Amino acid sequence: MDAEVLTEVVTGVGTIRLNRPTRLNALTRNLMLSLARALEGFAEDDAVRVVCLTGVGRAFSAGQDLEERDPRVHAHPFDLEALQIELFHPVIRLITSMDKPVVARVNGLAAGAGASLALAADIVLAAQSAKFIQSFSKVGLSVDAGGGWQLVRALGTARARAVLMLGEALGAEEAAAAGLIWRSVPDLNLDDELAALTTRLCSTPRSSLRSIKKAVIAASDTAGSFESYLAIEAALQGEAGLDPNYAEGVLSFLEKRPPVYR
């Protein structure tokens, strides 16, 4: 497995670690392709009963690595719709559709697409210091990686809209209280709580977990299918990526200055 993604299997738990700690596990093309391969491998491995997704270091993932979108270096505009379909949608589909429970261990910052990855998991366990930030509006974008679907169903339309438009952080305790994640625990207890959780899941019949996962998806599908949502989301992100304000948002981030939007 590529160095940006680490995997191991211990007593039925397949753990995937995003491994770019010096960049807060920001998402690159290579990392997303490696993550998809890791998820596919665990989905097919009968020795893996539970999949755990986490990050190395002090963050879960800071979202898209904007150095890959630097308008000073790379041609602009980017076809963000195509990138969603190629890189992000396969990963989100693997997480949500595999027959095994996926647990997100959120050890710190989860921002943008990084937050969407975490929220796609079946159970999200977060350290109290963790923060979930929907940072898309800060660089002139919409929302991607299935994030809008998760937010609307967990928070309701009004609150999801405000969280996305304002780009403010939700602390782990607030996210748990709002029903966005399963539980927030003290930082020092995170790994003990994770071990207890995965042990319980490993001792639960596979057929039960598989059926529950499918039933919950069916029960929440009240406003159209997830597939149709992904198509709409990608198209909207594609439109936003063509706007010059996206290049300015990325450039201002890289140059550490306030953006000057048109």
Q: What mean pLDDT value characterizes the chain?
A: 90
Residue 14 dihedral angles phi and psi, to the nearest 5°: -95, 115
Which pLDDT band, with edges at 50, 70 and 90, does 1 fall under?
A: very low
pLDDT, mean of residues 77-105 = 92
* Residue 223 banded pLDDT, cuts 50, 70, 90: low
Nearest alpha carbon to residue 214 among 223, 224, 226: 226
Answer for the pair 49, 202: CB distance below 8 angstroms, yes or no: yes
Distance CA 95, CA 84 (A): 15
Fold of 5-187+205-254: 2-enoyl-CoA Hydratase; Chain A, domain 1 (3.90.226)
Residues 212-221 have pLDDT tens digits of 888 777 666 6
Of 172-181, 184-193, 253-262, minimum mean pLDDT range: 253-262
Per the rule left: phi > 0, alpha: psi between -120 and 50, beta: everything else, 46 is alpha
**How far, in Å, CA of 12 to CA of 239, rounded?**
43
Pick from 115, 91, 114, 80: nearest CA to 35: 91
- pLDDT of 236 over the 90 cut: no
**pLDDT tier at 224, thresholds 50, 70, 90:** low
- Does pLDDT of 226 surpass 80? no
In terms of pLDDT, which residue wins out, 42 or 243? Answer: 42
For residues 250 and 69, give the distance between their C-alpha atoms in angstroms, rounded to a whole number: 7
Is 87 or 262 the better-scoring residue by pLDDT? 87
Q: Is it the case that residue 234 has pLDDT exceeding 90?
A: no
Percent of the chain whose predicted confidence (pLDDT) is above 90: 60
